[in-house]
Every structure is written in C-alpha cells, then in structure tokens.
C-alpha cells in the first residue's frame, strides 16, 4: 500500500508533494460568511451556528456556572492529568519570556520593550470532537505573555453545549471568556467583534479548511498565528529502530485526516519492508482505519537512504511538522537538523508525547513552513516596541548627516524637522 522509494532516485516532486490546492468555492463561502457577521453581528452568528452546527444558541457566552458544573462532573483522574500537562506546558513556556534592553551613551537613550497584546482569541475545534490539549497549548502561552484577556471560541454540540473536557481545560489554563460558536463565523466574530463577542488583536488555534481560510481572510484586520495545513510526521530510523514502533508512530498522524502524511526515511531496507508490513497489520485494528489508510496510500512513503546524514539532508528539504529521530545517537543527528517544527529524540519519545504532555507546544508549522516559521510560543502574543531619546548635543552631532540622508531621498520636510532644531 505505501510507496517505497530509493533516496538516489527521488526528486523534489517525490518528497515535496504536499497538498496545496486552492478551493475557490471555500474562499467564496468564507468571504460571504465574514461579510454577514460584519454586517449583522450576533444575528448572523446565531443563524450560522444553527445552519452549520445544528445548535439554536440564545446566549453565546458560557457562564461561570456552566464551567463550574463541568468541572464538578469531570472525573478527578482526568482533572489531575490536565493539571499535570498544564504544569509541564507552563514550565517550558515560562522560559520563553523576554525582557527589554537599553543602550545609553553620549546623551542618547535607545531601548526596546516587549508588550503583550491586549486581547487574544483562541479557536478550539469542537462539536463532535474534543481537544482540551488545544486549549492548554494556546491559552497558557498567552497567559504567560501577560495578555490582558484571553477569549475562546469553540463550536457547540446540537444541544448548544460545550464538552466538559474543553471547559475544564479552559478553567485550568486561565481562559477569561468562552463563546459557543465555531467555523469561519467565529473567526469573523473574533476579528471584527459583534454585540456579544469582543474583537481581539490576535487569533490562534487550529481548525478545518473553512477556519484556516477565514484566518487568512481576516489577517491584517487582526494578527494570526499561522495557516495550518494537514498534519505530518517524518521519522529517520537506522537499524536499531523497531518496526512496530515506527508503524505505530506513522499511523498516529495518518489517523488525523486523509490529507495527513507520514514519511519514514530508513537506512535499513529490511526494516523498511518490515515497517510496511506492520502498517498493514496495525491499520486493521484502528477505529479510524479508512482515514489512516487513505493518508498512508496517497500521501505517505518509505525512503531507503544510504546513511543517516543523507536522511537528515532529505528531511531538511521536507521541513516536517513533527520529526522523530529513531536512531542510535539521536542527539548527534539533531545537530544536522535545520528545518523541523518539533523534534523527538529516541525510541521512547513518540510524537503523542508532544501532543499532550511534555511541555513544548503542539501548534507547529506545517507544509514545509518550518523552513522559516516556528512553533506557537509566548512570542506569538508579544509585540516589540522601541524608543529613542537624543539630547540637544547628541542631535547636533549627527544632524547634518541626517539632513544629507533625507536630501538623497528627496524628503525635504524630514530634513527641515532636523534643521529647525539645529538653529
């Protein structure tokens, strides 16, 4: 079922064939939805929530009582798991906090400040699914950054309720307000505001193609984290790896959706063939077997490389979202990795460890954007602002140079602003 290729014979088209289709009908529908929310506010939000989620919602905002009830009804074991995961995420992201700096010399003061956005919006997929991990991974960095107000939107079920696991995670992560709406209409509400939902300065969080397209459409009106593509994993393995583990980790991403991809680059052909057999065997036991099978068949591959160095070079060209180094000395191979969202070292560090618990963020650059983009972090909720102060003597010392510079650009008023101070 899965394609097996030799590294010597592959071309970029063989390894970089990510889905990059444009869907004009989706873009058109999303623009119409955004336009309705901008014009009609809560009315559009209510009608669209009924249309797409089947929920007739009178009050969009989740009350404190609803959250407390969900917390009381959730088993203590899962609450403890959420708290442990939140502690790990907080510990890791607290190390990302930055401080400003100042330079003082000869009557000059220069500096830089790091300031949080006033209000951040978090999109959490919902409805038939439940992703409390997404709540933790998006809200905790925002709170550590010092965001004044964290707003969460998530689709309700047909009864107009939010899953209790989502509400529990929101309470633990410190989310300030929660609204029962999803899809492109929720992104529009966060960007432009309605009578009920406040407009935010930045929107983060994953979603389906309508959510991703809506984020793309509102960028500029508000900030966004990234345009996420289908989930992907790449594994580099040598002869010490276990085919059972390799297949299991590939399927852990393939089950996300039919467009997901799982790539194995292995230096041992027999291990590659054994992993292909394991994929077939393990697929049959998966509840989401049809989804995973399509992802393995259409978007995944096993590449036979001559060395781990060659494997690392191919991996850097692919720039995967998740990268596992299932080799004898993963820390040494890590030195050769330049492009990857998150890297997992050794046979006991499977990708789901990062999805839920370890601490580094699971919102990662996809579709090769790890060449220039980074995982979600405290920085995503921070703005940099610089400041300048010159004394009279300091300005006099450089005034003629500034006026000459302005003259070269033909901006006389710029030069005049200096000249008037030098009289």
Q: Which of 165, 232, 321, 351 is catalytic?
A: 321
Q: Catalytic annotation on 335?
A: no
End-to-end CA distance of the chain: 81
Name the one residue in this structure whose structure tokens are 């550590």. Answer: 144
Sequence-separated (6 or more) residues with CB below 8 Å from residue 246: 235, 237, 264, 266, 271, 275, 278, 326
Q: Say what angle helices 289-299 and 243-254 make with each other, to 10 degrees.
A: 100
- Please provide residue 69's backbone torsions phi and psi, each rounded to the nearest 5 degrees: -65, -45
Q: Catalytic annotation on 322?
A: yes
The answer to whether 358 and 136 have CB atoms below 8 angstroms apart is no
Q: Which of 322, 324, 351, 362 is catalytic?
A: 322
Task: Find, among 259, 237, 239, the residue nearest to 249 by Cα.
Answer: 237
Question: H/E element holding 119?
Answer: strand 119-123
Residue 232, token pair as written in the block: 């992907």
- Rounded CA separation 152/61 (Å): 10
Q: Can you say whether the dihedral through the CA atoms of 289, 293, 296, 298 is positive or negative? A: negative
The answer to whether 167 and 72 have CB atoms below 8 angstroms apart is no
Please identify every residue annotated as catalytic.
321-322
């Amino acid at each position: 079922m899965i394609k097996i290729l030799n590294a010597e014979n592959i071309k970029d088209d063989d390894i970089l064939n990510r889905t990059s289709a444009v869907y004009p009908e989706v873009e058109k529908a999303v623009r119409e939805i955004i336009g309705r929310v901008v014009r009609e506010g809560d009315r559009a939000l209510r009608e669209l929530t009924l249309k797409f989620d089947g929920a007739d919602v009178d009050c969009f905002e989740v009350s404190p009582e609803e959250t407390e009830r969900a917390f009381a009804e959730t088993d203590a074991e899962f609450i403890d798991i959420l708290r442990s995961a939140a502690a790990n995420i907080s510990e890791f992201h607290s190390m990302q906090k930055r401080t400003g700096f100042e330079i003082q010399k000869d009557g000059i003061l220069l500096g830089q400040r790091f300031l949080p956005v006033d209000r951040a919006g978090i999109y959490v997929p919902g409805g038939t699914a439940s992703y409390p991990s997404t709540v933790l991974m998006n809200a905790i960095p925002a709170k550590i950054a010092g965001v004044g107000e964290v707003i969460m939107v998530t689709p309700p079920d047909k009864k107009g309720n939010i899953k209790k696991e989502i509400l529990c995670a929101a309470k633990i992560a410190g989310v300030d307000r929660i609204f029962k709406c999803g899809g492109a209409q929720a992104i529009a509400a966060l960007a432009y505001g309605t009578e009920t939902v406040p407009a935010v300065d930045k929107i983060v969080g994953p979603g389906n193609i309508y959510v991703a397209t809506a984020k793309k459409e509102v960028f500029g009106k508000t900030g966004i984290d990234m345009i996420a593509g289908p989930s992907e994993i790449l594994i580099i393995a040598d002869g010490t790896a276990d085919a059972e583990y390799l297949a299991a980790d590939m399927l852990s991403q393939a089950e996300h959706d039919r467009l997901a991809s799982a790539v194995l680059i292995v230096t041992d052909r027999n291990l590659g063939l054994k992993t292909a057999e394991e994929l077939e065997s393990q697929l049959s036991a998966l509840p989401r077997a049809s989804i995973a099978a399509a992802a393995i068949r259409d978007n995944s591959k096993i590449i036979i490389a001559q060395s781990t160095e060659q494997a690392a070079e191919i991996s850097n060209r692919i720039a995967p979202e998740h990268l596992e180094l299932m080799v004898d000395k993963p820390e040494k191979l890590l030195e050769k990795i330049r492009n990857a969202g998150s890297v997992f070292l050794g046979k006991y560090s499977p990708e789901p460890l990062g999805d839920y618990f370890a601490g580094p963020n699971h919102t990662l650059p996809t579709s090769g954007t790890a060449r220039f983009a980074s995982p979600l972090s405290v920085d995503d909720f921070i703005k940099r602002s610089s400041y300048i102060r010159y004394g009279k003597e300091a300005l006099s010392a450089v005034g003629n140079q500034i006026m000459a510079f302005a003259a070269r650009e033909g901006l006389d008023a710029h030069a005049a602003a200096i000249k008037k101070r030098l009289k």
